[in-house]
Structure 1
Amino acid sequence: MPPFRPARLLAVALLAVLPGALLPATAAQAASRTVQGGRLDWGIKSSFQSYVTGPIAQGSWGLTGGAATVGGSQFRFHSATGSYDPASGAFRAGFSGGVRFTGHKKSDGSYELDLTISRPTVRIQGGSGTLYADMTSKERGSGRVTTAAQVPLATLGLSGIDMRGGTTPVALTNIPATLTAQGAKSFAGYYTAGTPLDPVSLSVDTTGPAAKPSTSPKPGNSAEPKKKSTAGRFEDAAVDWGVRRTFREYVTGSIGQGKWTLADGAQDGGALFRFPKGKGTYDPERKTLAATFAGSVRFTAHDGLDLKLSRFVVALKSGRGTLSADVLSDGKATRSVPLVTFAAKDFAPKNGLAVLTEAPATLTADGAKVFGSLYKAGTAMDPVSLAVATEAKAALPALPDLGSDASASPSPEPTGSPAAKAAPVPTAAEKDDGSRTGLYLALGGAGLLAAAAVTVLLLVRRNRPSPDAS
């Protein structure tokens, strides 16, 4: 073997790692992230909403799958899941919830117009974006019903938006949307391809790659005895109530121009509010409950409205329920006001959890006074959902995940050019402090590697035997 060959190999190895050392630190740090939680706000097409509910179609729309409204004309879809690659800007987020439009009621009770749009998904790749959705529609004239999953419904105008280099949350605001040819067909022919739709806004949370779950068995799982339900005792409880959809729309819409504020542990589920940490007594056999819940909601509007509801109480007895709350209105406080009543005939625990889902609720006479006679006694309010865990392992139903910084108000109205309407995620160039430092360190390290490689080569040449000496 020629002398000093190991040194020569070392020099080659040092030079080989130079390209990797010269890569910016941000390139090494960029990794695909998981979209987990977030919301999409979209009115689909405001003029279509007006047509459906107007004097011609004389119809209505309804929400499904936990979808909600925000402002006066936008629908909020929730619980985003998907992926985001900060290096390439590739983005995919699917949302839950849907909206069904019906109109032109026929003599047999069916509708000539019947359109459902649900599970919207936004995909962005290479600077172009598309909004997909599940579509069920009734064809005009023939009445033929078609159902299709993830129809490319609208193209998104992403001019001037760089999707690379974002972290969390990833937010896009008032992105122009245009109806596609396939979307027009699924829209039952009410609009042609190229028709402008309402702008789209979204905000999603992202997390790093999830760690692999441990495969080792958890000790003691099989040996733990199940706790039996005991009268008067429960582990946890929560009550969900949205007050009334039209009231929320009035508060945050163009008339009220206000907002709601949650405090003391209350949570926003989009179409409802959750009041958690229930405490009290529950008898599974008699199906009676007396529980007090944490959290408060305060509604304020420009017309002087200032209404706070807190310390919610649920009482169940003989298959009937009453939801009460402390009320603070215009500076006057009233304790334990019965707001709504609802039916609760079957409230027995199953697998350690007693659940009442969307029980229709009716406004009481005292409740009508709380709303300043805006609604009469007997008015249908938002339904009440209730969950009581009688065993420690029983989990309460999940709340729709709206992501971080969820707002009760709609996105600002678009102004200026399409690029100005969008709130792009930060690009790698905008986050220059950390990346420059990493680049400087990389260049310094690369310089040291290069110097080491040159030194080794010089030593090899200096100590290489000459032809005469051999």
Structure 2
Amino acid sequence: MSARRRRSLALAAAVATAAALGATAAPSASAAEVPLNGYELTWGIKASYRNYVANLAQGTFTPAGGASQAESNGAFTFTGGTGTYDSTTHVMSLGFQGELHIKSEKHGFEIGLSDVRFDSGKGEITADVERNGTTEDDVPLATVTVTRAMTEMATALTKEAGEVLGSAGYAGAEGDPLSIVKKAGPEPEPEPSTTEPATTPPASPSTEPEPTGSATPTATASASPTTQAPTPTPSTTATQSTEPATQGEITDGTLDWGVKQSFRAYVTGPVAKGTITASDGATQAFGNGAFTFSDATGAYDTEAGTLKAAFKGAVTFEGHEHDGAHSLDLTLSDLRVNLTEGKGTLSADVDDLGEISQDVVLADLSAPSPTLTAKDDVITLDKVTATLTEAGAKAFGGFYAAGAALDPVSLAVALTEGADLPAGTGGDGAGGSGTGTDGGPDASGSTIGGAGSTVGGDLGGSLASTGSDVPVGALGAAAGAALAAGAGVVLALRRRRPAAE
């Protein structure tokens, strides 16, 4: 039986097992939830929309019930955030107090937003929306590229947001950055983490579509924040904090890496028309985002500045289907990071069209600092740059030349049992080039036609589809270049395939 056939059977068995055990898994998931409180969410929706309301529509923004707006028609802040953090899935769910009324008598619209909610697992922000005399609960307003720091997170407005704001032209547009911070409470809370996205300036107000508000004003929305009863302190065993050992074994950990943003977009785009599947303990972030690999093992030495860590999980890229077979069929698994004083390598086992190569050094790594520092028995490294090696270029079939910038790497490893890890929810992998200037496939406007089906979760837990179509604009010269590059890739893969059969 082929390795690919064994993987398919294993995945099918995992799905069946997860379905059969779904009822019994619920108690353990509930037990893993940790109560959260004292958070604030700041989001401006979109700067050009605020300018439209305040200037052209001669309208007003009126925050109430715990919400506020920054000076000079700035962003909005919602307070009193409460919710839960699941220490098993590393998902944070928060609901915030406060409401926002948006009104323009000149353009005849009135909107009420309340019960603002954030879910790091879905990468989504929702709110109850009142307009035209009716209230709709939990309307998705934006997708969020979740980062480890949870500040200045990139957002994209949804189709529903376009309807709420009065113009379909807002659907898919870049929203204002979103930040969530903890403002109260004696204990630090765990926070979701991924590589930080590159930020893009908001679109100029002059290029935005003008909303066409409802002619029927509505009554103002009433806030209905849920007051959370005090939750008893979990009865987990606690020990007095002591200085961590300078060396020892890693007990757990996560690795966030998107491989390369333009490669993900190419695989799911109109040329390859493929899918990306995360399995065996790996997950993929919402919106064809980056991957999180879990259950780290290995060793560390903070005095010597060395870290060796291996992570569970696999990611499979499939595309260019012909007669039931894929010319592009690449799986990366058993990812390993080896660092000494901030420099090192990222390696993986590579399965290319059934030909398996173990411990291939895919990238050279360079951390921002040569030192390793433990906080609360966790070593965290963000924005570790990754550069494609010669072996890595070969593993990717020559899609990219050696020296190309890959997505940055972020990781967190626990030094003691029970140490709280930040959440690993992937990200957008914005560090990788998406412009095609490195000679590889380009992401420019090329994600239409392939949703990027992803399956996440380990084989013993729940499986979830997190793929998503990405809205695209008009195809331009860059997209045409991507199509040309894709045609060359198809030919190259077709030439290579007979040798691997």
TM-score normalised over the length of structure 1 = 0.48
Higher relative contact order (CA 8 A, sep 6+): 1
Query: Is the radius of gyration larger for structure 1 or structure 2?
Result: 1
